[in-house]
Amino acid sequence: MKIGNDDHALGRVPRNERYGFGSMLVQWLAQSGSLSQFVLGATLGLGMTFRDAFWAFTLGAVILEIVIFLIGAAGQREGMSTTMLTRFAGFGRNGSALVSLVISVSLVGWFGVQNGIFGRSMTRLVGGPAWLWCVVAGVVLTLLVMYGFKIMMWLARIAVPLFFGLVAWSVISELHQHSLSELVNAAPTGAHISIPAAATIIAGGYMTGAIVAPDMTRYNRKPWHVLLQSSSSMILSEYVVGMTGVLLGHAAGSSDVTNIVLSTSGLAGLVIVVLATLKINDWNLYGSSLGVVNFSSTVFGRRLHRGAVTIVIGAAGTILSALGFLDHFKDFLTVLGVAIPPVGGIIVAEYWIARRQRPELDATRAAGTMPARVATWIPGSLAVWVAAFCVGRFVHWGIPALNSLGTALILYVVLAYAGLIRPTGHTAMEGVTPAPAPAPARTVTP
């Protein structure tokens, strides 16, 4: 069933369908404006000084930017989503199906959780049952994501100026009642939060988003676009939205962003923030749809249309959020969140350092075609993935997401150079016709 846009779910995005710097910048900036980032800033403001919060946001932003650029640049060069990239950067065909399953379940789960938060927020705002608002938001997002990247870009063009207009209004309305120097130098009023602990929250909370950056960067034309756009997004997210949240938290003495926004810009302001939140939630559904398409193609041999997949998983996420079902699975989703960073570590290690599987990509990149074959299983990669997950899950030191990512990267490189990262065989790529074998040389008898 072909409904909506497939968006090259199992292939490369052609060069002539890539977008320019300005269009992609807007899409990146849309990721900076979210309700949760305001909440994060206000929460840190209650437990940290302004100066300590600044350094925590800086540390978290640097970590995230390094990860986003290394993985995002790989996606840009190959024109592939994260789940497709894993086929040729560490996991092989069957291993990528496992990665797709983990990413899809995680993203659609968080889509439902965010949808549930939206429903409860709207109930507090205008009344009515939360389940009804969940259904409304879920249907709207499913329809938008069904038609793919182009429609999502138009949504970003609306959400970005509205959200940052709200930020400016909130700052002017609330902070003009206080001395800026007093807020900057204010002592925290809540439980103390250390800089490493805050950086853990900042980096860990968005690490999954960093790993799936190729879902967006495959539409970029040049690698340096990825660097400038993602860093611009990070600056706005951490230093404008996040640090504004710190100041508002100091000023209002609360981390409840709903109360903060309502006290500064009224009902319209919260509606705009909700719009920006929905803009981020569309990427959860979009990334999940790409993963399901790859999983189905690999495991069941069925080529599903991404638009049709979006309808199914969007409906499932919407119904579960309306029932409040997914709120009981936040701990499970958090565990999956630790399983995703090692995928990024393996991609970076294979694509940029070990390069054991790069020849197939290098040979087909210029033509914009897919390799004719792909490794079937790579057991060493799966072993690295499991080991790195265990480190992130059970080592209670540092930043769990970064611990698991770093472990995967280092361990993969060591095993690759030791000759222990080897495929068990190769499988023909679906939809790709292998080049005919060259005819045998003719023997000329003198």
Give pLDDT tens digits for 116-142. 888 887 887 778 899 999 999 999 999
In angstroms and rounded to an integer, the radius of gyration of the C-alpha atoms of the chain is 23
For domain 15-337, the CATH superfamily is: Hydantoin permease (1.10.4160.10)
pLDDT value, residue 17: 94
Length of the chain: 446
Q: Is the pLDDT of residue 443 over 50?
A: no
Q: What is the dihedral of CA 152, 308, 331, 124, to 10 degrees?
A: 60
- Is 315 in contact with 108 (CB distance < 8 Å)? no
CA distance 298 to 296: 5
pLDDT greater at residue 380 or residue 120 = 380
> In which band, very low, low, confident or very high, does the pLDDT at 258 lie, cut at 50, 70 and 90?
low
- Number of helices (H) and strands (E), helices first, in the chain? 19, 2
DSSP state of 237: I
DSSP state of 236: I
Q: What is the DSSP string of 55-108?
A: HHHHHHHHHHHHHHHHHHHHHHHHT--HHHHHIIIIIHHHHHHHHHHHHHHHHH
Q: Are strands 426-428 and 373-375 parallel, antiparallel or unpaired?
A: antiparallel
- Across the range 396-413, mean pLDDT stands at 90
Q: Is the pLDDT of residue 281 over 80?
A: yes
Q: Is the pLDDT of residue 269 over 80?
A: no
> In which band, very low, low, confident or very high, does the pLDDT at 438 lie, cut at 50, 70 and 90?
very low
Tokens matching residue 394: 């059970």
Q: Is the pLDDT of residue 95 over 80?
A: yes
CA distance 180 to 183: 5
Q: Is the pLDDT of residue 113 over 90?
A: no
Burial 92-130 (b: 16+ CB within 10 A, else e): bbbbbbbbbbbbbbbbbbbbbbbbbbbbebbbeeeeeeb
Give pLDDT tens digits for 144-167. 999 999 999 888 888 888 878 877
CA distance 392 to 404: 4
CA distance 189 to 107: 35
Q: Which of 30-39, 191-200, 433-442 has the highest mean pLDDT?
A: 191-200
Tokens matching residue 261: 């926004």
Given its phi and psi angles, is residue 211 left (phi above 0), alpha (psi -120 to 50 degrees) or beta?
alpha
DSSP percent split of the chain into helix, strand, coil, nearest 5 = 75, 0, 25
pLDDT value, residue 40: 85
Provide the residue ranges of all domains of the chain, joining segments of one domain with +.
15-337
> In which band, very low, low, confident or very high, does the pLDDT at 212 lie, cut at 50, 70 and 90?
very high
pLDDT value, residue 156: 87
Q: What percent of the chain has pLDDT over 70?
A: 91
Q: What is the chain's mean pLDDT, rounded?
A: 87
CA distance 394 to 399: 12
Q: Which of 63, 81, 13 is nearest to 347 (CA)?
A: 81
Q: Is the pLDDT of residue 439 over 70?
A: no
In this structure, of 97-106, 154-163, 219-228, 231-240, the range with the lowest mean pLDDT score is 154-163
Q: Is the pLDDT of residue 313 over 50?
A: yes
In this structure, of 173-182, 214-223, 251-260, 357-366, the range with the lowest mean pLDDT score is 251-260
- Across the range 245-264, mean pLDDT stands at 72
pLDDT value, residue 1: 59
CA distance 389 to 429: 29
Give pLDDT tens digits for 32-78. 877 778 778 888 888 999 999 999 999 989 989 999 999 999 999 99
- Across the range 214-235, mean pLDDT stands at 95
pLDDT value, residue 432: 60
Q: Is the pLDDT of residue 446 over 60?
A: no
> In which band, very low, low, confident or very high, does the pLDDT at 436 lie, cut at 50, 70 and 90?
very low
- Across the range 197-215, mean pLDDT stands at 86
CA distance 421 to 415: 6
pTM over 0.85? The answer is yes
- Across the range 294-313, mean pLDDT stands at 93
- Across the range 205-214, mean pLDDT stands at 88
DSSP state of 157: H
CA distance 18 to 12: 11
Q: Is the pLDDT of residue 348 over 80?
A: yes
